[in-house]
Amino acid sequence: MNPRQSPASPATRAEMAARFVGRDITSMRDFTTDELLFVLDLSEEFEGSDEPRLKGKILANLFFEPSTRTRLSFHSAMARLGGQVIGFADANVSSVSKGESLSDTIRMVENYCDAIVIRHKFEGAARLAAESTHLPVINAGDGANQHPTQTLLDLYTIRRIHGAFEGLRVAFLGDLRYSRTVHSLIESLARFNTELVCVSPPQLRLPGDILDDLFERGVRVREEFNPTILPQDVDILYTTRIQKERFPDPVDYEKVKNAYQLDRKALSIYPSRVTVMHPLPRVNEISPDLDDYEGAAYFQQAKNGVTVRKTLLSLVLGVV
């Protein structure tokens, strides 16, 4: 479905919006494909129009683990729409240091705000938070588990550039084993008629259960373990950082650490522009000489992050 060719009717729109009021956004798995496309459509509609829809609303930005990017992006989204933000950037200044349970912290904070964004190092923390309050809770990353707004901004970026998901060939490079960003995006892209190429060192290949699931669903997916050549015939290169701490033997890390570096020269094999994405922060996975390459989309991703977060906050707070 190309949403621009078949826009939702006004009735459907109100109905879809109603489904999001007060809702928790803890995992991409909670989204039907219709809902996912609705969020993207609405984000396109809202992009660049900043009415003070959220005036009088308060967001609690609870970052039990630091993350400037995501925290400031939510703060900006709220501020752009006239809302206010309370919270903390660091668990050390929070009452968790006094031994308070997460559930108690959430039940305290729910008295101070209208919606909660939570970042926490433990998997499942966002769902636990959601169960502790009647307010909408948005997961801004819980350990290696989920980070749904990252996936939505990735999807939004892809559709903004390529118009639709159908028929796209997307290569994922680097650490495909531990990257929650990759797992979640793959799961979402697999809902559409896309072709996936997984390029990684053998130690960091996509987990078996995710691969099995893709095969079962008939998704076109292939793996490549040769780091010296980039896959041919792809529309998008989505690259991630390989973290040293994933390797028990440092020698193994040294062998692969620079294997998936992208630069102008590496991309010269492609006859036409390829889209380059990265969740950021990057260290050396993408050379600065690509920053003005017309396919470079990684800073656009950051911009789109504010857009989709504005949409989600408006939806769960019921002001669409």
Residues with a known catalytic role: 69-70, 98, 119, 147
Contact (Cβ atoms closer than 8 angstroms) between residue 54 and residue 83? yes
Which 282-311 positions form the footprint of its own copies (CB under 8 A)?
282-283, 288, 299, 302-303, 305-306
40-69: which residues touch its own copies (CB under 8 A)? 50, 52, 56, 58, 60, 63, 66-69
Provide, rounded to whole angstroms, the least separation between the CB of residue 250 and its own copies.
Answer: 17
Of residues 45 and 90, the one with the C-beta less far from its own copies:
90
116 CB-side CA count, 13 A: 31
Q: Kindly state the smallest distance separating residue 274's Cβ from its own copies, in Å.
A: 21
Site for its own copies in 14-43 (CB under 8 A): none
Task: Label residue 258 exposed, middle or buried (CB < 10 Å: 0-12, 13-18, 19+).
Answer: exposed
Contact string (CB under 8 A) for its own copies, positions 254-283, x = contact = --------------------------xxxx
Pairing between β-strand 195-199 and β-strand 220-224 as defined by DSSP bridges? parallel
Classified as helix, coil or strand, 44 is helix
Which one, 73 or 194, has the nearer CB to its own copies?
Answer: 73
Amino acid sitting at position 283: V
| Cβ proximity to its own copies, 162 vs 282, nearer residue | 282
Measured distance CA(116)–CA(66) in Å, rounded: 16
Query: For residues 241 and 286, what is the distance between their CA atoms, to the nearest angstrom?
Result: 9
Which CB atom, from 22 or from 66, has the smaller least distance to its own copies?
A: 66
Q: Number of C-alpha atoms within 13 angstroms, CB side, residue 253? A: 10
Closer residue to its own copies, CB minimum distance, 58 or 259: 58
Residue 138 binds to its own copies (criterion: CB under 8 A):
no
What contacts 316, CB < 8 A, 6 or more positions away?
A: 20, 21, 22, 23, 24, 25, 115, 136, 138
* Residue count of the chain: 320
Whole-number minimum distance, CB 137 to its own copies, in Å?
16
DSSP string, 243-296: PGGG-SSHHHHHHHTTTT-B-HHHHTT-SS--EEE--S--SSSB-GGGTTSTTB
Residue 134: exposure state from Cβ atoms within 10 A (0-12, 13-18, ≥19): exposed
Stretch that binds its own copies, among 79-87, 144-152, 170-178, 195-203 (CB under 8 A): 79-87
Q: How far is the CB of 50 from its own copies (least distance, A)?
A: 7
Least distance (Å) between residue 228 CB and its own copies = 25
Of 26, 73, 181, 239, the one binding its own copies (CB under 8 A) is 73
- Site residues (CB under 8 A) for its own copies, limited to 83-122: 84, 86-90, 92-95, 97-100, 103-105, 107-109, 111-113
Separation of alpha carbons 245 and 252, rounded Å: 11
Question: Contact positions toward its own copies, by CB under 8 A?
Answer: 50, 52, 56, 58, 60, 63, 66-69, 72-73, 75-76, 79-80, 84, 86-90, 92-95, 97-100, 103-105, 107-109, 111-113, 280-283, 288, 299, 302-303, 305-306
